[in-house]
Amino acid sequence: MPSATASASLPVVAIVGRPNVGKSTLFNRFVGERVTIVEDIPGTTRDRVYGTGEWNGRRFTLVDTGGLELQPGSDIEARVQDQARVAIEEADLVLFVVDAAIGIAPLDHEVADRLRRAGKPTILVINKADNPRREHEGAEFYALGFEPTITVSAQHGRSTGDLADLLVELLPPPGPAELEADASVRFGADIAEGDLEELAETEMGPPLVAIVGRPNTGKSTFINRVLGEDRMIVSDVPGTTRDPVDSAVTLDGETMILVDTAGIRRRGSVARGIERYSVLRAMKAIDRADVAVVMTDAIEGYTAQDAHVVGHVLEAFKGIVLVINKWDALEKDGHTADDWLKALRREAPYLAWADIVFASALTGQRVERILREARRVAEERYRRIPTGELNRVITDAVREHPPSHVRNRLPKVLYATQVAVAPPTFVIFVNDPELIHFSYRRYLENRIRAEHGFLGTPIKLIFRERKVDEERRPARKRARRTSSSSRSRR
């Protein structure tokens, strides 16, 4: 099985506190983007969410957590508490966030006691001090007994720079691994733009794999099975996962990044507020991924909501591995898988080139195969076809099945070249792109796939009209004029 890996080279800073004190706002402020959902609803954040911050040349890993509570009211809330406790245990430094607008609460004392028992270096952050009056009222939090203490407003950025200075000052000294990682980052920043383009063509880097699907199809169960720990909160309640969460795993000595996401539903089915933001972030996770592992439910079959998720993946031209999850819960005979595939090909012919895996995240059946297929699909996205070989494929295809006349005009396919990877993009030059029917475009795509695979990854065909070389036109005109003058003199 693959092993989980973390950013061990960077120090870890955990952000903790009771619900709705502004932990996620502070996290987003340090990371520099809206990674976690921010709402005035207690319990919005559930899983541990990781991000990377940098200040004064020092990089660190930030961990956003759910709000700590005295008596969790549900199983999900209890698991949120477990996630926060794990974050405290792995932290090198803790930011204990409290709310100046509300004032000190009994739960703040309870969190303070937990942190004292943990024995981790702690900064008390009095948040929501949006004005001098709030800052003055926040002085009551000094009774919690933490030093250092600082008053900030994460929403407006007030004194967050001072907090960052303090944070970096209290981090442990950088170790050899961190120094080596920082040197790699600086080396990468010094590469010229042209060299970056060349690297992009030849080096794929660790694949980013988004685990997506409609609610309650087993996405978080799959992540936990891969990591070998309860990294994600798992519940039968749809919508348990809210923020996209990145996790690094190592398979056969190579790293890949898995992104757990919230369940995606069709736009008309999405409620306002937290669910809407969760779905938007899941869509964004697809947009930044190399490959999307789309989890479906074998018991319910391939539904319209599954097709909606797959459609977004295809529109984004991302690689896809379709997983028929909960395969262990289905009563099977020797033909069940074949019947499933036939029905899927009939209902979704657009997935003829997609990779399909029958698996069970709960039991671990074919979980490792899913990861291997995701990595293989990512590699397919970066594969190139030499121009000569590509033109041989196109020429053979046109010879065997020429395009049909359109309005008494004959389409002509001239030549082709691959211009990009991720996704593989081909430009095919023709006499008139409007004459190339959709079905013939699909035929050429299928011929490329038949010769060179690209299993699991969309490919993009761009048809362009061949332009006459503008620089050669005057030369031809001069040649014609010279020829005419010669004839007239004779």
Q: Do 125 and 245 have their domain in common?
A: no
The total of structural domains in the chain comes to: 3
Question: Which residues span the domain enclosing 426?
Answer: 387-465
Residue 234 has pLDDT above 80, yes or no: no
Q: Do 253 and 312 have their domain in common?
A: yes
178 within domain boundaries = no
Structure tokens of 19?
Answer: 């619900």
pLDDT (0 to 100) of residue 111: 87
Lowest-confidence pick of 79-88, 95-104, 463-472: 463-472
Q: Do 238 and 334 have their domain in common?
A: yes
Note whether 50 and 245 are within 8 A (CB): yes
pLDDT (0 to 100) of residue 227: 82
pLDDT (0 to 100) of residue 270: 40
Q: Do 370 and 231 have their domain in common?
A: yes
Q: Which of 172, 189, 218 is the last residue of a domain?
A: 172
Q: Do 73 and 103 have their domain in common?
A: yes
Lowest-confidence pick of 45-49, 83-87, 135-139, 414-418: 45-49
Q: Which of 381, 401, 424 is the last residue of a domain?
A: 381
Q: Model confidence over 317-328: pLDDT tens digits? A: 999 999 999 999
pLDDT (0 to 100) of residue 70: 55
Residue 201 has pLDDT above 50, yes or no: no
Q: Do 294 and 310 have their domain in common?
A: yes
Q: Do 118 and 53 have their domain in common?
A: yes
Q: Model confidence over 334-377: pLDDT tens digits? A: 889 999 888 888 888 888 899 899 999 999 999 999 999 999 99
Q: Strand 355-358 vs strand 319-325: parallel, antiparallel, or unpaired?
A: parallel
Residue 194 has pLDDT above 80, yes or no: no
C-alpha distances in Å from residue 101, one per residue of 22, 66, 140, 148, 307: 11, 20, 12, 20, 46
Structure tokens of 370?
Answer: 């899913």
pLDDT band at 69 (very low <50, low <70, confident <90, very high): low
Q: Do 294 and 433 have their domain in common?
A: no
pLDDT (0 to 100) of residue 441: 95
480 within domain boundaries = no
pLDDT (0 to 100) of residue 467: 59
Structure tokens of 355?
Answer: 């990779």
Residue 158 has pLDDT above 70, yes or no: yes
1 within domain boundaries = no
DSSP state letters, 236-247: SSTT---S-EEE
pLDDT (0 to 100) of residue 209: 93
- For the purposes of burial, counting CB atoms within 10 Å of the CB of 42, is it exposed (0-12), middle (13-18) or buried (19 or more)? middle
Lowest-confidence pick of 83-97, 154-168, 254-268, 347-361: 254-268
CA nearest neighbour of 76 among 235, 222, 190: 235
Q: Identify the CATH number of the domain in which residue 97 sits.
A: 3.40.50.300
Q: Do 420 and 443 have their domain in common?
A: yes
Q: Model confidence over 289-327: pLDDT tens digits? A: 899 999 999 999 999 889 988 988 998 899 999 999 999
Residue 45 has pLDDT above 70, yes or no: no
73 within domain boundaries = yes
Mean pLDDT for the chain?
78
Note whether 264 and 212 are within 8 A (CB): yes
Q: Do 156 and 106 have their domain in common?
A: yes
